[in-house]
A and B are shown apart, each in its own frame.
Chain A
């Protein structure tokens, strides 16, 4: 659970926790100090009060005498409205005061002033005892003056300071949380912009990330760069492998084909010629099917990480038409393109592949001396490229069935590539959110294949 929490929230919570802890700590420290200071003040006054009384101790006619000075209690009254109790004993004898007032146990036998806490008449009291030895006649008598005061004043003062400190700590906490929120946002900004710079990249952009990340992100950047480097290498290697394999296979095929053509030139034997033509056709078929299988794989790969670049369909049509003009010319087929500029978003390479496959097909099935028309139109949110020929068409039956037939029967038809070519085109269009429409030509003759693409 905590692992999936955002760093920002985690940091904010953590800092808030720290701030809360510090606030609590400072509050308890201030409260403690206030209590201590108040208690010490009370102790001092109590001690002064008891000492003032002890000062008046004297011996008269063998008796210990004393009088309570007014100031002894007025000083206690000056610091708080606490209740005051007192007791003066000479040895075991009570001289005056509250006979049942407990006296604090002196922690050292001969310490002069002893403090202590206790309960008297239902209230917590702070007590102080001052010991003084008075010579009564000829014997020394230990006189203990005990003054006690309730703790309400101390509690009031420390409570007041504690409340003030609590308010201050709370304000500190709120401020700290606000500041930490800002701090977190500020310090996470590089991370966010880093993440954005990674996610903004196109699917095939494997260039290393630019330097300039904060020190903490350098390892991540390094790791990402290494990963992309490995990925790029792996892609390069597999591309190289495919290229090498294709090269190895196709070059001998090319040799065979060339030799077969040469042989065809040099023989007039009808049977030999027939065989040679079969060889050449077989080479062409295997070459075409290998090419289209590779194309199909390319399409499948690229469709998964579809680029969304602006593509001008007019340019695409011109490029394709130009590339296929020599092929068409061989059959005296005219390619007639009517273009308007329409921009769609997609993978130019895939769209080129789709259009080329469809056009290639149209040329292949067109009779000599005919025209293949390529028209671009835009209707609603759709752009269409229609390729219509004057060939035999797809025959009777619904278009969808035809498409299915092409999909399914590509390899069983004996005309390798034609079916797969349309399948490639249909896959490309589906990946772009479009479709491939198959139908009859305008006058019910020939075939009309339409590439439909969304414009938005």
Chain B
């Protein structure tokens, strides 16, 4: 029983991964040629269409540089850098993995007036620099509420799911913590901060949740109607994708009892060859990160979200404590518990 359930979940994940992989194979890599023969190699977790404006802006200043952009999951990115992959810049939403890389000596230190201008919470040791602050949100289709008010806390969400399982069964999506670095980061930080996380997980586990590797697909599935609720989606992606949506059928809800705020960070890998260009791009990103007006950019600046959500919860702290949940023992323990929550009987009746 237990094993079949797990196999089911795993099969779903593999399927999703395969889908994602095939999708990535088309878009996972793009080169923006410059006039010169130097190439800045970026590995990033940000989707191409999200990050492309930044690259183009950068090339306006440095037209000589060819920018080679590779999209990878945060775990892939982590493994690539750790494995000695040659990149000049690594941009990731998984702060813990970035910190682990920096702590273990896979990052190169960099200092400029821009990095000095960063608030203390937005950098660590001249190795990691945050340039966006993005919060985790819940998106759900308004139809599923059937007139009920939007759930604003986890408790309300738990009640909603528990009282109306028929509306949500098989239509709830969240990160597969085993595959998504960001999902794992969100989950561990949330578990540390609120006990409602495990209860919510159990409730979701009973609803036969679909597990995803990436925010983008979750948002797509909500829009397409395959999902009615996606939990812990990157707010920035959601806003981006829902921009075209009309009628307010899908709502973005930020939990008010606790909301994770993730810092998208950059490191210059120790293997970098175009250090100067990487630094220049970091400076550009930080300048945008420190802007006051959100403007037209796909990703939010550091302060906007920081200030709004600082009504209690700042962004996740950059520091060695992030490495705690990456410890294999802890990770195993955490994932065991999570799998237990997710593999409950889908048929209580």
Chain A residues with a Cβ under 8 A of chain B: 65-74, 76-78, 81-85, 95-97, 121-123, 152
B102, B103, B192: most-surrounded residue (chain A CB, <10 A):
B103
B21: interface (CB < 8 Å): no
Cβ–Cβ contact A95 & B329, under 8 A? yes
Sample (6) of A-B pairs whose CB atoms are under 8 Å apart: A72-B321, A73-B323, A74-B317, A74-B324, A81-B124, A97-B327
CB-CB nearest 5 A-B residue pairs: A77-B319, A74-B321, A84-B320, A73-B321, A73-B320
A68 and B319 contact, Cβ closer than 8 Å, known pairs A81-B125, A83-B125: no
Nearest-CB residue, chain A, relative to B123: A81
Contact A96 B329, CB 8 Å, known A81-B124, A121-B105, A122-B105: yes
Residue of B nearest to A71 (CB): B321
> Whose C-beta in chain A lies nearest to the C-beta of B104?
A121
Task: Give Cα distance in the complex from A74 to B316, angstroms.
Answer: 12
Known: A67-B333, A68-B327, A73-B320. 13 other contacts (CB 8 A): A65-B329, A68-B330, A71-B321, A72-B321, A73-B321, A73-B323, A73-B324, A76-B320, A77-B320, A83-B102, A84-B323, A85-B103, A123-B105
Q: Which of B97-123 contact A (CB under 8 A)?
A: 102-105
User: Contacts of B321 on A, CB cut-off 8 Å?
Assistant: 70-74, 76-77
Residue of A with least CB distance to B106: A121
Residues in A whose Cβ lies below 8 Å from that of B327: 68, 96-97
Q: Give the dominant DSSP class at A's interface.
A: mixed
Residues of B with C-beta under 8 A to A74 = 317, 319-321, 324
Q: Are the C-beta atoms of A96 and B328 separated by less than 8 Å? A: yes
Tell me, in angstroms, the Cα distance from A71 to B319 when the chains sit together: 11
Contacts of B320 in A (CB 8 A): 73-74, 76-77, 82-84
| Assembled-state Cα–Cα distance A78/B317 (Å) | 10
Give 1 or 0 for each of B20-49: 1 = CB within 8 Å of chain A CB.
000000000000000000000000000000
Shortest Cβ distance from B89 into chain A, in angstroms? 21
**Do A72 and B328 have beta carbons less than 8 Å apart?**
no
Q: Tell me which residues from 296 to 329 in chain B have a Cβ below 8 Å from any Cβ of chain A.
A: 317, 319-325, 327-329
Bound CA span A295–B321, Å? 109
Please state if B319 and A66 are interface contacts (CB–CB under 8 Å): no
Task: Specify which of A67, A78, A123, A152 is in contact with B330 (CB 8 Å cutoff).
Answer: A67
* Contact across chains for B103 and A70 when beta carbons are under 8 A apart: no
Contact check, A67 vs B319: say whether CB atoms are below 8 A apart: no
Q: Which residues of B contact A81 (CB under 8 A)?
A: 124-125, 319
Residues of B within 8 A of A96 (CB): 327-329
In the complex, which residue of chain B has the Cβ closest to the Cβ of A121?
A: B105
Knowing A67-B329, A77-B317, A83-B103 touch, does A72 contact B324 (C-beta < 8 A)?
yes
**B192 contacts A70, CB within 8 Å?**
yes
Q: Complex: how many Å from CA A410 to CA B81?
A: 119
CA distance A97 to B104 in the complex (A): 12
Q: Would you call A66 and B329 a contact (CB within 8 A)? A: yes
Which residue of the partner chain A has the closest CB to B126? Answer: A81
Complex interface: chain B residues within 8 A of A66 (CB):
329
Tell me the bound Cα distance from A194 to B333 in angstroms: 92
| Residue numbers in B under 8 Å from A152 (CB-CB) | 125
Q: Which residue of B lies closest to A149 (CB)?
A: B320
Q: Whole-angstrom distance between the alpha carbons of A298 and B328 in the complex?
A: 114
Q: How far is the CA of A274 from the CA of B296 in the complex (A)?
A: 148
Which residues of the partner chain B approach A72 to less than 8 Å between Cβ atoms? 321, 324
For B192, what are the chain A residues with a Cβ–Cβ distance below 8 Å?
A: 70
Chain B nearest CB from A99 CB (Å) reads 11
Q: How far is the CB of A326 from chain B (nearest CB, A)?
A: 109
Q: In the complex, A121→B101 CA distance in Å?
A: 12
- Chain B residues lying within 8 Å of A85, measured Cβ to Cβ, are 103
Whether the Cβ atoms of B323 and A70 lie closer than 8 Å is no
Chain B: CB-nearest residue to A70: B324
Q: Which of B124, B192, B320, B322 has the most CB of A within 10 A?
A: B320
Instruction: Give chain A residues whose Cβ lies under 8 Å from the Cβ of B102.
Output: 83
Docked pose: A122 CA to B108 CA in angstroms: 13
Q: CA A82 – CA B103 in complex, angstroms? A: 8
With known contacts A74-B319, A77-B319, A81-B124, A68–B103 Cβ distance under 8 A: no
- B319's nearest neighbour on chain A, judged by CB, is A77
A84 touches B329 (CB 8 A): no
By a CB distance below 8 angstroms, the chain A residues around B329 are 65-68, 95-96
Q: How far is the CB of B96 from chain A (nearest CB, A)?
A: 11
Chain B proximity of A217: nearest CB distance (Å): 63
**What's the least CB distance linking A153 to chain B, in Å?**
10
Tell me the bound Cα distance from A296 to B330 in angstroms.
Answer: 118
Residues of B within 8 A of A68 (CB): 324, 327, 329-330
Give complex CA distance A77, B121 in Å: 12
Write the chain B residue with the least CB distance to A84: B320
The residues of A that contact B103 with a CB separation of less than 8 Å are 83-85
| Chain A residue contacts of B104, Cβ below 8 A | 83, 121
A312 to chain B, nearest CB (A): 87
Q: Which single residue of chain B is at the shortest CB-CB distance from A80?
A: B125
Contact A69/B105 with A81-B125, A83-B125 known, Cβ cut-off 8 Å: no
Smallest CB–CB gap between B7 and chain A, Å? 25
Which A residues touch B325, using CB under 8 A? 70
Q: Which residues of A contact B124 (CB under 8 A)?
A: 81
| B38 CB → nearest A CB, Å | 28
Report how far A85 CA is from B330 CA in the complex, Å. Answer: 16
- Complex Cα distance A122/B317, Å? 26
Residue of A nearest to B189 (CB): A70
| Bound: A66/B328 CA distance, A | 11
Tell whether, in the assembled complex, residue A69 and residue B317 are in contact, meaning their CB atoms are under 8 Å apart. no
**Cα of A70 to Cα of B324 in the assembled complex, Å:** 6
Assembly CA distance A81 to B333 (angstroms)? 27
CB distance from B95 to the nearest CB of A (A): 13
Tell me the smallest distance from the CB of B184 to a CB of chain A, in Å. 14
